[in-house]
Homo-oligomer: A and B are copies of this chain.
Amino acid sequence: MKQPSSSSEGLLGSLFSSRAVDAELSDDALLRAMLDAEAALALASAETNVVPAAAADEIEKACQHGDFEIAQLGVQAESAGNPAAPLSRALVERVSAAAKPWVHHGATSQDILDTALMLLAQRAGREIVASAAAAAASCAELAERHRHTVMLARTLGQPAVVTTFGLKAAGWLVALDTAGARLDVVLAQRLAVQLGGAAGTLGVFGAAGPEVLRCFAARLGLAEPVLPWHTDRQRVLDLAAALGALVAAAGKLALDVELLAQAEVGEVSEGGAAHGTSSAMPHKRNPIDAALVRSASYRAPGLVATLYGASQHEHERAAGAWHAEWQPLRELVSIAGGALSRTAQLLCNLDVHVERMFEDVDVTRGLVMAEQLAARLAPLVGRSAALDTVARCCDIAVSSGRALRDVALADDVVRTHLSAVEVDGALGPQRALQAVPALIDRALASRKLPAASAKSA
């Protein structure tokens, strides 16, 4: 159960993951990142005259070479409690006697493993941000295209008033863009190298410690921390929170799609070839992408909570809390990758059934415009009387199956105060939707994720 393989070739295929993201999370990638960290450490130490340049070069070459056996390192990890310890021993074996003392010099296992996990998160995270940007770009396109596509707004599962599909898509956009941009910031600013040595003092480097730290960070393209953060896990929490929130934004969108795709609603459907067919029921078209995105949204909160729950690391290195982070962190990144790439795909293939949206509004016989009629009446008869009047008309419309317009025009209070034209004006969507284009424009203008960084799903 524990080691992610380097490909997405298992029985559950890539149901829950993205191949591009998972490639950055595999054991191969983790080993690569640990070697990158060891190499950068040697070079940074040479740069700051802590380690002889020749030794550092030799160590870097050994790191590049890559003749390390994952299975063997895994076996050795068991007695050390982590894979960084056997890796540094394996590196020592691969360099000359002169270089041996300088392998892993000044570092502790956590320095290498934390740094490697941050590299993984950064590399995989960029793919996720790109998927979020692609999904957001699709939302922006839908917002633009369906700016005026009138549809029911539904609250507590019931038709409420009218909105446009463009505004709904703009809502998805803002959430995805906000969450994606937040993740982007975390990747750039909060993912830092780890370097502190046995207990966070940078002791072995002497006074050169802070300078080694600076060079180490510069070489790896990660942030330079103020202090070693062996037991200060705020960075991990920032990453977890950002990933969880992005999955949540995707999950909301998927939930809307799933509900709109219900046969009885039928306002959108998932496109794509041979999509979501059922073995037992040949006529069905299942919203598979939405279901799988939602599956991620069920899983992310527990992973976020696990990382928050394991964030109190005692003393200078934790016994258990640290170890508890590794797999949940990779898993959270993985399912975020799966969720966002599926969301981008879902949006690319989304079929929007504009006519069904109109029909579903019509079916309410004007009841969803009741609020507008009450608002129109209120200044004339008082809000309470207006609400009472409209409620009475609605009750009659509901029980008789007549249109609200017809009932209203037959109502004494209404016809005393409003002409037929005024009633029609109140019951039409125009006024109710007057602010919608401006709202959509605000959403489009507020985008923080560069449309350019969007890859195809």
Which of B275, B315, B436 has a CB less than 8 Å from the CB of A153?
A: B315
Judge whether B207 and A434 touch: CB under 8 Å. Answer: yes
Residues A204 and B319 in contact in the complex (CB < 8 Å), given A79-B276, A109-B279, A306-B301: no
Contact with B along A318-331 (1 / 0, CB 8 A): 11111110111011
Which residues on B sit within 8 Å (CB–CB) of A443? 226-227
Most buried by B among A92, A231, A274: A231
Which of B237, B317, B431 has a CB less than 8 Å from the CB of A203?
A: B431
Beyond A197-B371, A201-B433, A204-B371, 12 additional pairs, beta carbon < 8 A: A1-B26, A11-B30, A81-B276, A153-B201, A158-B262, A161-B203, A201-B435, A204-B375, A206-B435, A227-B443, A252-B311, A293-B320
List the number of copies, as a whole number.
4
Q: For window 168-222 of chain A, which residues contact chain B by CB distance below 8 Å?
A: 168, 170-171, 174-175, 178-179, 182, 197-210
Judge whether B320 and A281 touch: CB under 8 Å. Answer: no
A154, B379: Cα distance in complex, Å: 46
Judge whether A16 and B327 touch: CB under 8 Å. Answer: yes
Which of B100, B232, B309 has a CB less than 8 Å from the CB of A309?
A: B309
Judge whether B245 and A158 touch: CB under 8 Å. Answer: no
Which residues on B sit within 8 Å (CB–CB) of A324? 294-296, 298-299
A104 within 8 A of B: yes
A159 within 8 A of B: yes
Please name 30 pairs of A and B residues whose Cβ atoms are closer than 8 Å in the assembled complex, sorted by A. A10-B74, A11-B70, A11-B74, A13-B77, A79-B273, A79-B275, A85-B279, A88-B279, A103-B383, A104-B279, A153-B199, A157-B287, A158-B286, A160-B280, A167-B201, A174-B229, A202-B435, A203-B433, A207-B434, A209-B438, A210-B439, A210-B442, A237-B245, A248-B312, A281-B371, A283-B404, A294-B321, A304-B304, A305-B308, A309-B309
Judge whether B301 and A15 touch: CB under 8 Å. Answer: no
Which of B100, B315, B384, B442 has a CB less than 8 Å from the CB of A154?
A: B315
Which residues on B sit within 8 Å (CB–CB) of A103? 383
A454 within 8 A of B: no
A14 within 8 A of B: yes
- Tally of chain A residues near chain B (CB < 8 A): 204
Binds B, one of A127-135, A390-398, A416-424: A390-398
Which residues on B sit within 8 Å (CB–CB) of A433? 201, 203
A304, closest chain B residue (CB): B308
Q: For window 249-264 of chain A, which residues contact chain B by CB distance below 8 Å?
A: 249, 251-252, 254-256, 258-259, 261-264
A238 within 8 A of B: yes
A378, closest chain B residue (CB): B101
Judge whether B439 and A227 touch: CB under 8 Å. Answer: yes
A437, closest chain B residue (CB): B207
Which residues on B sit within 8 Å (CB–CB) of A197? 161, 280, 371
A82 within 8 A of B: yes
Which residues on B sit within 8 Å (CB–CB) of A261? 157-158
A108 within 8 A of B: yes
Which residues on B sit within 8 Å (CB–CB) of A107? 280
Residues A12 and B375 in contact in the complex (CB < 8 Å), given A200-B171, A306-B299: no
Most buried by B among A163, A248, A363: A248
Which residues on B sit within 8 Å (CB–CB) of A80? 276-279, 288
